[in-house]
Structure 1
């Protein structure tokens, strides 16, 4: 698999003449992944949907499995968290296969954005019902992301929020990890280029959102949607990181742009550079480094959703 993706293939049409067959990819290491493969398979069998189930242990396996099996199936079902769906992005873009999500992770922010139920059986039923919608995909240096790609506090949070913390504490683990990261956070200088105009900022975090939710339920913007064909950027330019605690409610609703310390920009493409390369977090996983080019692929994928 190439490491970067330029443009998606045309979406695969689900045939009404041939019996549908699903490729079910299960992350056994996701928070609720243990034992889920059997439950998903049982639900699909009960609905009469032919399928094959495979587990994976690394992100690289996900996309390669999709490409390898593309000729045999007409849909993909990802059973895992946001990191699992992110790992499937390159393969989904390459094949154009429609996909469904059974949210088994900690944050499940893409499922929240799409209005998917967290109950395993109910999530499978959404896929079986067959209603689909087109969604945008974000790219950073050619790597796809669904929710948010960011640098700063979030990258340290991604490193601190270990799989063990996720399994043990669930969403409360985000708060525990965030407290540790914020205690040691320091601002950095970056240049944001929007429509050819450079903006130099001193910031604790820059986030570029494709979807609406990230970080276990925070909203990137009040108007953000995963099919609005735009990216939403914010830069957290605080005098002290302690003030972030006062903004938590605003970040949950997406209204943080009303604070004068939060710069917000809406656009189709952005460039972000820093004096030294800094890691970029895509949907909870480190995926790139600055300098970083962000862009949106409008209506790039088809997903089963209510």
Structure 2
């Protein structure tokens, strides 16, 4: 399939890039840091996926332009720099030249891949890829007429680590192109349905389809008026399918039905529990999830900077900017925020619906004060990918995302929602006074960005976490009680696409010293002899 210049594929592509452009970025060699050219163009496939940067190497290689697979690059977006991995001047000279008059068809790409194969054929594919190396291409792939770029994912796919911003823009470009294509298809059908040449045909742009999942019992406000406000803002722009949660039909079931029926956007309006349930249907689908918070805590919206007032949240959804963040599963149940064991779960249990309706967020504070009087330790076993930790604790929080107000999740301070890791905070105060001091220290960590530094507070990060306790402890997931320990939590990196107001660096990974009865053992200790 022929490639296209990005301007030919989407003349207004810059709108999907927040008004910013990668064309014009300076190009440097990764090994020497020397400036060697600039990005002159971007070539995309028929879907809109970035495949090549067109690099003008200027005087470095006699004004030569070449097509550079996106996987050969590392991008510093803030500095407007693109670094080329593992290609030197002599190798650039051996690559086919590119100019705008060339029809980049399958034959041209075949020759180009052959040239890159000659460059990389000396690399041992069994050796892990280093920063100054380039991926190896299988020679058999070079002759495919309809080339499957997934066969050389290291060359053609953008990674979350090195291309996060441009990957986000790529998804926006693809989504917008699909919408425009669908609009054009519908317009053609409308025109074709005209029965006579003198009939006036009205061509109406297809609006985006969105399913609004509305929890009528969430929060303390007037749900009927809330829905009127939401409809007044969203219905002019969306083909809005409004579905209410009921005691017999939760948000997860509604969201699954909407996805199966082709909804382009899922919008969840309710508390964090409603959002968590709706998220299950869109994990891994790239279907955008809009958030209109109407709960008591509204922790997920706060963690991602999404407005918690209805008009502002609706305007955020209309803006259409998205961010890819992690999701998680706790004992097979979707988790967008956190799982709390011990103190937090007992606090949530005490802050029941009637109390929350009366006092709002203050209900959690009052419940927490009461639970401080009954603070109890429990034996804990925490298993990660590489270690087993045994200790005593009073509260453990496993967080995928958490705002500063989720105090017991703030041990690592810099909670990242897109790092592919879970953040675990362990609190083990000896008495009520030290519990208050630990909570205050965690709150300071949340707002200062500095990790918690008390002997009775620890934290760690891991991709998967298994926790068992003795005795069994209550567990709360995304604000909803879900039984007792043990729990098994697994992160799903990049699992959710969230509609946010705007798009958004190294932190301490672990601190366990000082926790009572601490014992850390390698998960699979090597055998000797």
Asked whether the two chains share a fold, i.e. TM above 0.5, the reply is yes
Q: Among residues 480, 489, 503, which one is paired with 1:294 in the alignment?
A: 489
- Alignment partners' CA distance in 1, 2:316 and 2:262: 22
Matches within 5 A, 1:80-91: 80-91=270-281
Q: Label 1:284 to 1:110 Cα distance change in 2 as closer, same or farther (>3 A).
A: same
Structure 1 residue aligned with 2:190: none
Matched, 1:25 2:213: yes
Q: Among residues 148, 155, 179, which one is paired with 1:16 in the alignment?
A: 179
Structure 2 residue aligned with 1:147: 337
- Alignment partners' CA distance in 2, 1:299 and 1:115: 18
Q: Among residues 457, 475, 486, which one is paired with 1:262 in the alignment?
A: 457
Contact 1:106 1:216 in 2 (8 A): no
Structure 1's unaligned 5+ residue stretches are 1-10
Q: Among residues 38, 50, 60, which one is paired with 2:239 in the alignment?
A: 50
Q: Among residues 272, 278, 282, which one is paired with 2:473 in the alignment?
A: 278
- Alignment partners' CA distance in 1, 2:229 and 2:258: 22
Contact 1:171 1:216 in 2 (8 A): no
- Alignment partners' CA distance in 2, 1:285 and 1:256: 27
Matches within 5 A, 1:85-124: 85-93=275-283, 96-124=286-314
Matched, 1:247 2:435: no
Structure with larger RCO (C-alpha < 8 A, sep 6+): 1
1:72 is displaced (CA, Å) by 3.5
Contact 1:231 1:266 in 2 (8 A): yes
1:279 is displaced (CA, Å) by 2.9
Match of 1:69, SS state, is: helix
Match of 2:255, SS state, is: helix
Match of 1:111, SS state, is: helix
1:216 is displaced (CA, Å) by 5.3
Instruction: Tell me the alpha carbon deviations over residues 29-84 of structure 1, each in whole angstroms, 9 at most, x when there is no partner.
Output: 111362211211111124x2220211113485211111112224111111111111
- Alignment partners' CA distance in 2, 1:204 and 1:260: 14
- Alignment partners' CA distance in 1, 2:330 and 2:239: 35
- Alignment partners' CA distance in 1, 2:250 and 2:285: 15
- Alignment partners' CA distance in 2, 1:27 and 1:93: 20
- Alignment partners' CA distance in 2, 1:242 and 1:186: 14
Q: Among residues 317, 320, 323, which one is paired with 1:133 in the alignment?
A: 323
From the two aligned structures, give the one with the greater strand fraction. Answer: 1
Match of 2:250, SS state, is: helix
Q: Label 1:153 to 1:203 Cα distance change in 2 as closer, same or farther (>3 A).
A: same
1:287 is displaced (CA, Å) by 2.8
Q: Label 1:243 to 1:193 Cα distance change in 2 as closer, same or farther (>3 A).
A: same
- Aligned-pair Cα RMSD in Å: 2.3
Q: Among residues 404, 418, 426, which one is paired with 1:227 in the alignment?
A: 418
Match of 1:16, SS state, is: helix
Matched, 1:61 2:250: yes
Q: Label 1:235 to 1:218 Cα distance change in 2 as closer, same or farther (>3 A).
A: closer
- Alignment partners' CA distance in 2, 1:206 and 1:163: 24
Q: Label 1:214 to 1:54 Cα distance change in 2 as closer, same or farther (>3 A).
A: farther
Instruction: Tell me the alpha carbon deviations over residues 2-35 of structure 1, each in whole angstroms, 9 at most, x when there is no partner.
Output: xxxxxxxxx9974323431110011111113622
Match of 1:189, SS state, is: strand
- Alignment partners' CA distance in 1, 2:246 and 2:288: 22
Task: Output the TM-score relative to the length of structure 1.
Answer: 0.89
Matches within 5 A, 1:138-217: 138-213=328-403
Instruction: Tell me the alpha carbon deviations over residues 241-295 of structure 1, each in whole angstroms, 9 at most, x when there is no partner.
Output: 3312123332223356211101111111121112344332111112353222222
